[in-house]
A and B are shown apart, each in its own frame.
Chain A
Amino acid sequence: MSTGSSKADVLQGTLDLMVLRTLESMGPQHGFGLAKRIQQISGGALDLNQGTLYPALLRLEQRGWIASRWGASDKNRRARFYELTPAGSKQIARETDDWARTVALMERFLRVAE
């Protein structure tokens, strides 16, 4: 990963939630589609090598939060599609709460520092 000063590195653990959320909103998606969508949503603020996605997908699948199967893409190519599992949905809820708490906490500190 390069270290662009204007672009944010992906924080450890945040990529997981991004992938899960994207899958939740878009439905089953292949790796390329996911990468494109994540970059779109981040509005280019995220410095992400698309390849980085694959180890993350494997990790999520091993934990049972997503499942994968081989299918045909819209251009009729064989591709691997990832989709959210029920355990994954629960995980989103959990992590969303965590994030909200973390953000709230950080905000308080930042305000005090001002």
Chain B
Amino acid sequence: MRTFWKRFTGLFSNRRLETELDEEVAVHLDMLAEELREQGMDARAAQEAARREFGGIDSMKEAYRDRRGIPRIEILAKDVRYAIRGLRRSPAFTIAAVLSLALGIGANTAIFSFLDTLMLRMLPVEKPEQLLSLYRTGGWGRGFASYPQYLEFRRHAELFNGVLARSGAYKVRFDAGHNNRAEFVAREFVSGNYFDVLGVKPAIGRLFTDADNRTPQGHPIAILSYDFWRSRFGLDPGVLGRTLMVDEQPLTVVGVAAPGFHGVEVEHRADVWAPAMMFRGAIAEDGMHWVWILARRRPEISKSRIQAAANTIMRQHLASVYGDKPDSAFRRWAMEQRMEVRDGGLGISMLRDEFAKPLTVLMAAVGLVLLIACANVANLLLARGAARRREIALRLSLGATRRRIVRQWLIDSLLLALMGSILGLLFAVWGERYMLLFLPPGLSDSFSVAPDATVLCFTACISIISAIIFGLAPALRATALDPAISLKGGASQAPVGGKRFGLRKALVVAQVAFSVVLVVMAGLFAHSLAGLRSINPGFTYQNVMTFALDYPRAWKDADKDRFRQRLLARVAALPGIASFSCGALAPYQGGIWNAGMRVPGSARTATEGVEVALQGVGPGYFATLGSRPLRGREFDENDMRATRKIALVNQAFVSEFFPGLTDPVGRVLSFDDSKPEGGEPTYIVGLVRDILHKGLKIPAEPTVYVPFHQGQVGFDPTLMVRAQLSPDTLLPMIRRELNRLDPEVALTEPRTIRQRVDDSIFADRMIATLSGFFGGLALLLAAVGIYGVMAYAVAQRTAELGLRIALGADPAKIGRMVLRDGLLLITAGIAIGLPLSVAAGRISSSLLYGIQPGDPLAFVLTVAVLLVIGMVSAFVPARRAASIEPVEALRHE
């Protein structure tokens, strides 16, 4: 090692060592000559004798130098310099190759970086592979469970080495006592054993124990995440013992968690942890599903055994809680709950559930793009190799080994790959920034655009693999020649073996085939998105701004109500406001509010109550959404205070409970579902369109709209304002009014309805846009490939074609012949690509909405587009072939 290092440094301090050696030799010669002089020789003779005695100075120096540097590295450095010179000399080739690779590598890096964050990166906890996520299904949403359910699972030490519970990491108000500006932090409520079960250590201070989570509202302490400690407190250890206002709860900081730990949910990172007992609400209520359960399984117990056990535990738990309740829709709903045991090592992620498949498909797509790019570069290299035959032949005949020349070529390739990956990383950062725009707000926090070590390693790996893929075959090809023939014949006339040219054609066919797959996919996803876009959501989504308000905790419902009225009144007075309202849940807000009910006279509810979706809406709700009631009327101000119970129903409700009826106004339903005829009646006053509240893909369910009363509805309403103004002008105006009324109230989640609709299909939009982009890229690369091969073929055959024209062949016919050759390549590519596309379409059929994987439109368009592009790219070389001047061509000989 030491020798190596000395030799290595020797490479860089060449000049100094050289002069030192010169000096040493000079001294030696002088000493020797002096001694000889002392023995009586005259000065000149002594010098000559000394030189003889010393031996060949130059050969010695050579030996010395060989010894000093690492010959291999020196040769390598020489090769690299040579390669750089070569690439510089042909800038067009270099730019084309580097750009192709950069696009391929960049696309792969960008998609991989997403994939890594969401699907590959393990949580920074102890033995993450043992973690399980207990995912609740059936009845009242998914994932989150109740605290009693958590306690039930926690008892089973025979299955688990620890069971923890945590709430979602939601943004809440935060005040460190410095300023009055509204700040928000992500707070997560956790069970006392949370850090212990995960095996997370404190950076400073201490973490929670079970003793910190015993009595409701009795443990006002908090732990900070390391990143939050750094960004907000500058790593000041004095933060320990300080009291922070988190969601208007005074919490004393007792510790900071280890760096890198942000909680267990991928897309929602926690800044502050508080004991679950500090949760404001009915912590231990059975119907309150607010904690997500994670467990560390005993290593010896398999996941399937735990699943079986979980089914039993859940069944017994539900029987004990709901078993004695009267038979009703509510009870059936409750008893349907199951606990699904999932792997938890990657962290929990609702985004992953939705987005994993699209990402995987995109990853496969960019893999194909890279292969196409590699084929392109390989083709360029082959053409370059053909042009450099004479040079290679010369080097071979001068004694260079083939191995050395192949190595030289691979160095060329690696250099191209290196440049491609550097540029590709830039493209990737840019591309990731673009991709993040598709994600709904708040979900992009955990995705960083700056590549980390894993991503860089991935990029380096694919670059090197690409370099070998596109570099090796051309290198072997280019050096497999007989120097004598090549030197004699010169570059242009070298025998073009069928095989040599066959490789280039095969590459183009492969390019076309892969392009077909990508273009078909792009067509399928675009068609699917167009289908989604054409769905009528039940309202017009232009110009409606929605937002929520965050009030001080001390405010009562009546205060909030009054404030909201005042704000809406002031907003209504602004110029350009068409209408306004509020509602809970607002369209696309997420969340579920259900109730059991009976419809007197309906066969559907004759034997049992039925659960329907419930919405609380303010006056003018449907006018604001641009969806006038089909029958009857919507609520007005008076209805908000009336004691007579009234409701609106949607079309799905009518077809479910009043089949065949066109006007349900005047009919009755009842939320008392204990008896067949119902109890207190609720009068239906209007019929409204089906509004797709949960996303464009989810069909409307039977829904009952009731007047919004704060207090009766468990949610803060979302406010909606329809205006002629653009959101960018409207929003600051609303904020200004809000600030004038009360700066303590914050405006949150501002989003136009249009954006909310877009958010609900973000994965479809993203995959359609990106696959369209990749399809286009593939077409471009394939076009360049076809053009390159055809142009090269014509150049190679200039003499022959010229001769044919001279002998009387029709130039137009020659042109058509070239064109036909090009078309043959494309047709072959399409023939191979189509079955591949069918397979690819089938794999991604679950991502398609409303169309079949064999969608004829996508396939026909793809074939047409490829034929056109193929024709265009073969046309220029064909024209050139047809316009060859026989005299020129023959003189060229």
A interface residues, Cβ below 8 angstroms from B? 1, 30-32, 35-36, 49-52, 54-55, 58-59, 61-64, 73, 75, 77-80
Residue of A nearest to B6 (CB): A62
Whether a CB of chain A sits under 8 angstroms from the CB of B31 is yes
Set of chain B residues within 8 Å of A30, measured between Cβ atoms: 27-28, 31
Task: Quote the shortest CB–CB distance from B160 to chain A (angstroms).
Answer: 58
Q: How far is the CA of A1 from the CA of B55 in the complex (A)?
A: 8
Instruction: Return the CB mask of B461-487 against A: 1 if under 8 Å, else 0.
Output: 000000000000000000000000000
Q: Are A51 and B54 closer than 8 Å at their CB atoms?
A: yes
Q: Are B32 and A51 closer than 8 Å at their CB atoms?
A: no
Q: How far is the CA of A55 from the CA of B67 in the complex (A)?
A: 7
Given A31-B28, A32-B28, A50-B28: A58 touches B54 (CB 8 Å cut-off): no
Closest 8 CB pairs of A and B: A49-B55, A51-B60, A51-B55, A32-B31, A55-B63, A51-B54, A62-B3, A32-B28
Set of chain A residues within 8 Å of B6, measured between Cβ atoms: 61-62
Task: Quote the shortest CB–CB distance from A43 to chain B (angstroms).
Answer: 17
Q: Which of B17-25, B290-298, B326-334, B392-400 contacts A (4 or more CB under 8 A)?
A: B17-25
Set of chain B residues within 8 Å of A36, measured between Cβ atoms: 35
Whether a CB of chain A sits under 8 angstroms from the CB of B628 is no
Q: Are A78 and B27 closer than 8 Å at their CB atoms?
A: yes
Q: Are B30 and A49 closer than 8 Å at their CB atoms?
A: no
User: From residue 21 to 80 of chain B, which have CB atoms closer than 8 A to chain A?
Assistant: 21, 23-25, 27-28, 30-32, 34-35, 53-57, 60, 63-64, 67-68
Given A64-B2, A79-B27: A50 touches B32 (CB 8 Å cut-off): yes
Set of chain B residues within 8 Å of A62, measured between Cβ atoms: 2-3, 6-7, 67
Q: How far is the CA of A25 from the CA of B60 in the complex (A)?
A: 26
Task: Quote the shortest CB–CB distance from A107 to chain B (angstroms).
Answer: 33
- Pick 8 A–B contacts, CB within 8 A, sort by A: A31-B27, A50-B54, A51-B56, A54-B21, A58-B67, A58-B68, A75-B34, A80-B24
Task: Quote the shortest CB–CB distance from B829 to chain A (angstroms).
Answer: 58
Q: Are A80 and B20 closer than 8 Å at their CB atoms?
A: yes
Task: Quote the shortest CB–CB distance from A17 to chain B (angstroms).
Answer: 18
Given A31-B28, A77-B30: A49 touches B53 (CB 8 Å cut-off): yes
Q: Are B63 and A31 closer than 8 Å at their CB atoms?
A: no
Of the residues A32, A52, A59, A78, contact of B55 by C-beta under 8 Å: A52
Q: How far is the CA of A100 from the CA of B282 in the complex (A)?
A: 91
Task: Quote the shortest CB–CB distance from B22 to chain A (angstroms).
Answer: 11
Set of chain B residues within 8 Å of A80, measured between Cβ atoms: 20, 24, 27
Q: How far is the CA of A52 from the CA of B53 in the complex (A)?
A: 11
Q: Are B27 and A77 closer than 8 Å at their CB atoms?
A: yes
Set of chain A residues within 8 Å of B23, measured between Cβ atoms: 78
B interface residues, Cβ below 8 angstroms from A? 2-3, 6-7, 20-21, 23-25, 27-28, 30-32, 34-35, 53-57, 60, 63-64, 67-68
Q: How far is the CA of A20 from the CA of B733 in the complex (A)?
A: 90
Residue of B nearest to A33 (CB): B31
Q: How far is the CA of A40 from the CA of B57 in the complex (A)?
A: 22
Main secondary structure of the interface of A (DSSP, over half): helix
Q: How far is the CA of A84 from the CA of B121 in the complex (A)?
A: 55
Q: How far is the CA of A79 from the CA of B68 in the complex (A)?
A: 20
Q: Are A49 and B64 closer than 8 Å at their CB atoms?
A: no
Name the residue among B20, B21, B28 with the largest chain A CB count within 10 angstroms.
B28
Given A59-B67, A77-B27: A52 touches B60 (CB 8 Å cut-off): yes
Q: A54-B25, A62-B6, A73-B31 known; 16 other A-B pairs, CB under 8 Å?
A: A31-B27, A36-B35, A49-B54, A50-B28, A50-B53, A51-B25, A51-B55, A51-B56, A55-B63, A58-B64, A59-B67, A64-B2, A64-B3, A77-B30, A80-B20, A80-B27
Task: Quote the shortest CB–CB distance from A13 to chain B (angstroms).
Answer: 15
Residue of A nearest to B24 (CB): A80
Q: Are B64 and A55 closer than 8 Å at their CB atoms?
A: yes
Set of chain A residues within 8 Å of B53, measured between Cβ atoms: 49-50
Q: How far is the CA of A64 from the CA of B57 in the complex (A)?
A: 25
Set of chain B residues within 8 Å of A50, measured between Cβ atoms: 28, 32, 53-55
Set of chain B residues within 8 Å of A64, measured between Cβ atoms: 2-3
Q: Are A51 and B57 closer than 8 Å at their CB atoms?
A: yes
Name the residue among A58, A61, A80 with the largest chain B CB count within 10 angstroms.
A58
Q: How far is the CA of A61 from the CA of B56 in the complex (A)?
A: 22
Q: Are A49 and B3 closer than 8 Å at their CB atoms?
A: no
Q: How far is the CA of A32 from the CA of B30 in the complex (A)?
A: 10
Residue of A nearest to B51 (CB): A51
Q: How far is the CA of A63 from the CA of B30 in the complex (A)?
A: 29
Residue of A nearest to B52 (CB): A49
Task: Quote the shortest CB–CB distance from A9 to chain B (angstroms).
Answer: 13
Task: Quote the shortest CB–CB distance from B742 to chain A (angstroms).
Answer: 78
Task: Quote the shortest CB–CB distance from A59 to chain B (angstroms).
Answer: 6
Q: How far is the CA of A8 from the CA of B543 in the complex (A)?
A: 101
Set of chain A residues within 8 Å of B3, measured between Cβ atoms: 62-64
Task: Quote the shortest CB–CB distance from B56 to chain A (angstroms).
Answer: 7
Task: Quote the shortest CB–CB distance from A42 to chain B (angstroms).
Answer: 14
Q: How far is the CA of A52 from the CA of B3 in the complex (A)?
A: 20
Residue of A nearest to B3 (CB): A62
Residue of B nearest to A63 (CB): B3
Set of chain A residues within 8 Å of B21, measured between Cβ atoms: 54
Task: Quote the shortest CB–CB distance from A69 to chain B (angstroms).
Answer: 12
Residue of B nearest to A80 (CB): B24
Task: Quote the shortest CB–CB distance from B131 to chain A (angstroms).
Answer: 51
Task: Quote the shortest CB–CB distance from B409 to chain A (angstroms).
Answer: 33
Q: How far is the CA of A98 from the CA of B28 in the complex (A)?
A: 32
Q: How far is the CA of A16 from the CA of B844 in the complex (A)?
A: 71
Q: How far is the CA of A62 from the CA of B7 in the complex (A)?
A: 8
Task: Quote the shortest CB–CB distance from B411 to chain A (angstroms).
Answer: 27
Task: Quote the shortest CB–CB distance from B67 to chain A (angstroms).
Answer: 5
Q: How far is the CA of A31 from the CA of B27 in the complex (A)?
A: 9
Q: How far is the CA of A24 from the CA of B55 in the complex (A)?
A: 26
Residue of A nearest to B35 (CB): A36
Set of chain B residues within 8 Å of A78, measured between Cβ atoms: 23, 27
Q: How far is the CA of A55 from the CA of B21 in the complex (A)?
A: 10
Q: How far is the CA of A59 from the CA of B24 in the complex (A)?
A: 16
Task: Quote the shortest CB–CB distance from A22 to chain B (angstroms).
Answer: 16
Q: Are A55 and B27 closer than 8 Å at their CB atoms?
A: no
Q: How far is the CA of A46 from the CA of B63 in the complex (A)?
A: 21
Q: How far is the CA of A61 from the CA of B31 in the complex (A)?
A: 23
Of the residues B28, B31, B60, contact of A55 by C-beta under 8 Å: B60
Given A49-B54, A59-B67, A62-B67: A54 touches B7 (CB 8 Å cut-off): no
Set of chain B residues within 8 Å of A58, measured between Cβ atoms: 64, 67-68
Name the residue among A32, A51, A77 with the largest chain B CB count within 10 angstroms.
A51
Set of chain A residues within 8 Å of B57, measured between Cβ atoms: 51
Q: How far is the CA of A36 from the CA of B53 in the complex (A)?
A: 11
Set of chain A residues within 8 Å of B2, measured between Cβ atoms: 62-64
Set of chain A residues within 8 Å of B24, measured between Cβ atoms: 31, 54, 79-80
Q: How far is the CA of A55 from the CA of B65 in the complex (A)?
A: 8
Task: Quote the shortest CB–CB distance from B554 to chain A (angstroms).
Answer: 77
Q: How far is the CA of A30 from the CA of B26 in the complex (A)?
A: 13
Q: Are A54 and B20 closer than 8 Å at their CB atoms?
A: no
Task: Quote the shortest CB–CB distance from B788 to chain A (angstroms).
Answer: 50
Q: How far is the CA of A19 from the CA of B68 in the complex (A)?
A: 19
Set of chain B residues within 8 Å of A61, measured between Cβ atoms: 6
Of the residues B32, B60, B64, contact of A32 by C-beta under 8 Å: B32
Task: Quote the shortest CB–CB distance from B877 to chain A (angstroms).
Answer: 59
Set of chain B residues within 8 Å of A73, measured between Cβ atoms: 27, 31
Task: Quote the shortest CB–CB distance from B27 to chain A (angstroms).
Answer: 5
Task: Quote the shortest CB–CB distance from B95 to chain A (angstroms).
Answer: 44
Q: How far is the CA of A58 from the CA of B54 in the complex (A)?
A: 17
Q: How far is the CA of A75 from the CA of B35 in the complex (A)?
A: 12
Q: Are B60 and A54 closer than 8 Å at their CB atoms?
A: yes
Residue of B nearest to A48 (CB): B55
Given A31-B24, A49-B56, A78-B27: A54 touches B32 (CB 8 Å cut-off): no
Q: How far is the CA of A94 from the CA of B27 in the complex (A)?
A: 33
Task: Quote the shortest CB–CB distance from B533 to chain A (angstroms).
Answer: 72
Q: How far is the CA of A1 from the CA of B28 in the complex (A)?
A: 19
Q: How far is the CA of A36 from the CA of B532 in the complex (A)?
A: 95
Q: How far is the CA of A52 from the CA of B55 in the complex (A)?
A: 8
